[in-house]
Amino acid sequence: MATAAPPETGRFEGLTPAYRRALAAVIAINGAMFFVEMGAGWLAGSQALKADALDFLGDTATYSITLMVIGRPLVWRARAAFFKGLTLAAMGLWVFLTTAWHVLVLGVPAAEVMGSIAALALAANVTSVVLLLKYRDGDANVRSVWLCSRNDAIGNVAVLAAAGAVWLTDTAWPDLIVAAIMAGVFLVSSTQIVRQALEELRAAG
């Protein structure tokens, strides 16, 4: 089986069994963490936890698409990456809008639940990042997985910081600010993924 991308892209395309195994493990981790973190987000009243849980769900779906299109022609892989970029943008906009709505109600989240679940999510995402680290420079389809996993780890650190700030200030503002920042990260990564996908679509003719 091929281990490197053909001349059409010059980038790793995810064709190795090792990458498939790593991606399958990351999909399982993300799927489990969606349920854990969304439940904790509702329990704690934390918008940041809910935003991060939604990211876990989106990653589970888009990583599954990545796995499905590995080995297909460039145009199919680029289309999948383009779809994932649009999905990430939609999640970013959703988080922005719901965060704006929560500014109006400002219930104070439970900092202890936020912190403990964010720490668990960080451990899950660091595991995913380690599994995917050597594949970070692949084609748009492969690279989108790396970018999403990296963003997740960054988001978890931010949620941990928000939990500490909520505990110190006894206000919801740190939670809401972090949720908005995470939405911005989603949108920036979406732009990167879509741009690379469009380049590969043009290359595919």
pLDDT digits (tens, 9 = 90+) for 90-114: 877 777 666 666 555 555 666 777 7
Mean pLDDT of the chain: 76
pLDDT digits (tens, 9 = 90+) for 59-75: 888 788 888 877 777 77
Domain containing 55 — which CATH number? Answer: 1.20.1510
45 part of a folded domain: yes
148 part of a folded domain: yes
- Residue 131 reports pLDDT greater than 80: yes
184 part of a folded domain: yes
Please give the tally of structural domains in the chain.
1
Identify the domain containing residue 89 by its residue range: 17-204
* pLDDT for residue 1: 38
The full 3-state SS of the chain, as one line of letters, equals CCCCCCCCCCCCCCCCHHHHHHHHHHHHHHHHHHHHHHHHHHHHCCHHHHHHHHHHHHHHHHHHHHHHHCCCCHHHHHHHHHHHHHHHHHHHHHHHHHHHHHHHHCCCCCHHHHHHHHHHHHHHHHHHHHHHHHHCCCCHHHHHHHHHHHHHHHHHHHHHHHHHHHHHHCCCHHHHHHHHHHHHHHHHHHHHHHHHHHHHHHHHC
pTM for the model stands at: 0.67
10 part of a folded domain: no
pLDDT digits (tens, 9 = 90+) for 139-181: 766 777 777 777 778 777 877 787 788 788 777 777 777 777 7
